[in-house]
């Protein structure tokens, strides 16, 4: 163990971990909000809405996250005057916000696909029963279809959270000091390979905690579906 | 018109550079697959082994390489491999070694690929009923022959959808090797951006190239799946 390096960079790596978690929590939450209208548009009767949501999902699921980050972060610089005119330049100037924006769009596309699959997996009989009870379409969606769809989506959503934790490391390449960013900084100063191993342990711990918590959550939310 | 000239082939266009980068991306992805598949298959066998230690090793391997960010795995293999090789070479001579970026990228991506592939194989193994093994045993086939002639042909078919997915993920993950100075598509694009100051155009084009690669892959995957399912009778 290199205790000097640990004393210097250990606390900063923990700060980096906090930045990583901020990136993940904000992006996953905003992405979840985004995914609902996108999934609905994907299943809508309007051909235009379907085409737009399909194009959005295909693009963000088919291209590398790193390329998307570059496109937003460096690409925005080219539209500086326009962005300043509409007062959004402060957002695109900051690497952290650019990453949040890109990650949100990226995970929104993945979550929409998960949600779409889950909504379609809810048996049609549920919808028919609700209709025969005289519920309105909106009520059916909110009280019958969505709660069941979310239970089906729970496992893939947990995987998506873990993928986001791992994917968020690309923020380091556009100068965000998340866990990966601090680790690269520490390595460039100390040339001690250990720092990468510490980062690996931290990432593994985070992923394992999420997995455990998610299992507990799933166990609790599906308790009515288990026979005694 | 100016933008088109930037993308043209030739001395003042970047088309040929982007094409070179794309070619490296494809080569890297193609080189990773056999390595990742073989490793993943061995890890899957380890996880099914009667030996407790092998099982524990297989599970730990999967947990670690599915839990680590791919970017971190690439750095660890690249820098760690450099240090390890230097130590080994240092035993015999004072020469300095330089790890080849392509090999390092291939190993790192292959290790990640194998961790996911082992789970796909495991799932496929579990879908092959015991009757298949028993029937092979009754015919007097040896275990190795059973694996080769009875189990693997079915395994390929069952594992294919999962593996196809992993290929699409791998294709996108290759972009991460641009950080270890490997001239893949994304890095070549970055070079073009630095010279031309047209980030939106070039990164947009790079994204479209990645999209095209995955579209072409999807067509190939459909063909391969049709081939693998050729022996399967459809219940109509």
How would you classify residue A87: left for phi > 0, otherwise alpha for psi between -120 and 50, otherwise beta?
left
What total of structural domains would you count in chain B? Answer: 1
> What global pTM score does this model have?
0.91
Q: How many CB pairs under 8 A join A and B?
A: 106
Does the beta-carbon distance from A74 to B186 stay under 8 Å?
A: no
Segment holding A56, helix H or strand E: helix A47-62
| Residues on chain B touching A63 (C-beta within 8 angstroms) | 172, 207, 210-211
Say whether pLDDT at A227 is over 80.
Answer: no
**B167 lies in a domain?**
yes
**B236 lies in a domain?**
no
Cβ contact A190:A2 at 8 Å: yes
Range(s) of the domain holding residue B11: 2-228
Residue A17 tokens read as 């971990």
CB atoms < 10 A from the CB of A95, how many?
18
**B235 lies in a domain?**
no
**B234 lies in a domain?**
no
Query: CA separation (Å) from B159 to B23, B121, B123, B171?
Result: 27, 6, 8, 18
Identity of the residue in A62, A74, A180 whose CB atom sits nearest the CB atom of B203: A74
Say whether pLDDT at A136 is over 70.
Answer: yes
Q: Residue A71 — pLDDT band, cuts 50, 70, 90?
A: very high
pLDDT per residue as tens, chain B (236 positions): 567 777 777 777 788 889 999 999 999 999 999 999 999 999 999 999 999 999 999 999 999 999 999 999 999 999 998 888 888 888 887 777 778 889 999 999 999 999 999 999 999 999 998 999 999 999 999 989 998 999 988 898 899 999 999 999 999 999 999 988 788 999 999 999 988 888 999 999 999 999 999 999 999 999 998 888 887 766 55
Sketch out chain A's domains with CATH numbers.
3-223 (1.10.3720.10)
Q: Residue A104 — pLDDT band, cuts 50, 70, 90?
A: very high
Q: Residue A87 — pLDDT band, cuts 50, 70, 90?
A: confident
Q: How far apart are the C-alpha atoms of A21 and A1, rounded to whole Å? A: 26
Say whether pLDDT at A228 is over 70.
Answer: no
CA B14 to chain centre: 28
Q: What is the pLDDT of residue B236?
A: 52
CB atoms < 10 A from the CB of B169, how many?
16
* Complex prediction ipTM: 0.91
pLDDT tens sequence across A8-25: 888 999 999 999 999 999
Q: Residue A225 — pLDDT band, cuts 50, 70, 90?
A: confident
**B41 lies in a domain?**
yes
Say whether pLDDT at A144 is over 90.
Answer: yes
**B23 lies in a domain?**
yes
Question: Tell me, what CATH number does B98's domain have?
Answer: 1.10.3720.10
Does the beta-carbon distance from B64 to A204 stay under 8 Å?
A: yes
Which residues does A148 contact at the CB level (< 8 Å), separation at least 6?
Answer: A122, A126
Q: Which of A81-90, A101-110, B168-177, B226-235 is the least confident region?
A: B226-235
Q: Which of A54, A103, A163, A166 to mutate to test the interface with B (most CBs of B within 10 A)?
A: A166
SS3 label, residue B1? coil
């Amino acid at each position: 163990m290199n205790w000097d390096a640990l004393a210097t960079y250990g606390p900063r790596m923990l700060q980096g971990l906090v930045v990583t978690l901020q990136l993940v929590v904000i992006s996953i939450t905003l992405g979840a909000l985004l995914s609902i209208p996108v999934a609905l548009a994907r299943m809508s009767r309007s051909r235009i809405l379907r085409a737009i949501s399909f194009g959005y999902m295909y693009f963000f699921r088919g291209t590398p996250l790193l390329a998307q980050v570059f496109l937003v972060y460096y690409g925005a610089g080219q539209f500086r005057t326009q962005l300043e005119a509409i007062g959004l330049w402060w957002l695109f100037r900051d690497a952290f916000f650019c990453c949040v924006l890109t990650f949100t769009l990226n995970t929104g596309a993945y979550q929409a696909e998960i949600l779409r699959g889950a909504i379609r997996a809810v048996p049609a009989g549920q919808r028919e029963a609700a209709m025969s009870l005289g519920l309105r379409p909106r009520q059916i969606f909110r009280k019958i279809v969505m709660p069941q769809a979310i239970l089906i989506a729970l496992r893939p959503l947990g995987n998506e959270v873990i993928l986001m934790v791992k994917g968020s490391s690309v923020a380091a390449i556009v100068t965000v000091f998340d866990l990966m960013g601090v680790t690269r900084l520490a390595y460039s100063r100390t040339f001690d390979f250990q720092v990468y191993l510490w980062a690996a342990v931290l990432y593994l711990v985070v992923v394992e905690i999420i997995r455990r918590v998610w299992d507990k959550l799933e166990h609790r939310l599906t308790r009515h579906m288990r026979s005694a | 018109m100016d933008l088109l000239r930037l993308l043209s082939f030739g001395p003042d266009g970047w088309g040929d550079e982007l094409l070179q980068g794309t070619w490296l991306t494809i080569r890297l992805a193609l080189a990773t697959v056999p390595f990742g598949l073989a490793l993943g298959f061995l890890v899957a066998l380890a996880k099914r082994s009667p030996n407790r230690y092998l099982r524990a090793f297989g599970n730990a391997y999967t947990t670690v390489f599915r839990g680590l960010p791919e970017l971190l795995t690439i750095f660890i293999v690249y820098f760690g491999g450099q240090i390890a090789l230097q130590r080994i070479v240092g035993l015999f001579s004072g020469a300095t070694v330089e790890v080849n970026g392509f090999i390092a990228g291939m190993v790192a991506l292959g290790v990640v690929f194998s961790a996911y592939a082992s789970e796909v194989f495991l799932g496929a193994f579990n879908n092959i009923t015991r009757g298949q093994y028993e029937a092979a045993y009754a015919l007097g086939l040896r275990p190795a022959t059973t694996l080769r002639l009875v189990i693997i042909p079915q395994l390929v078919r069952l594992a294919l959808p999962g593996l196809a997915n992993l290929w699409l993920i791998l294709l996108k993950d290759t972009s991460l090797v641009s950080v270890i100075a490997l001239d893949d598509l994304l890095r070549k694009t970055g070079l073009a951006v630095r010279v031309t100051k047209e980030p939106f155009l070039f990164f947009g084009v790079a994204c479209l190239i990645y999209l095209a690669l995955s579209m072409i892959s999807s067509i190939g995957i459909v063909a391969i799946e049709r081939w693998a399912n050729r022996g399967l009778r459809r219940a109509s």
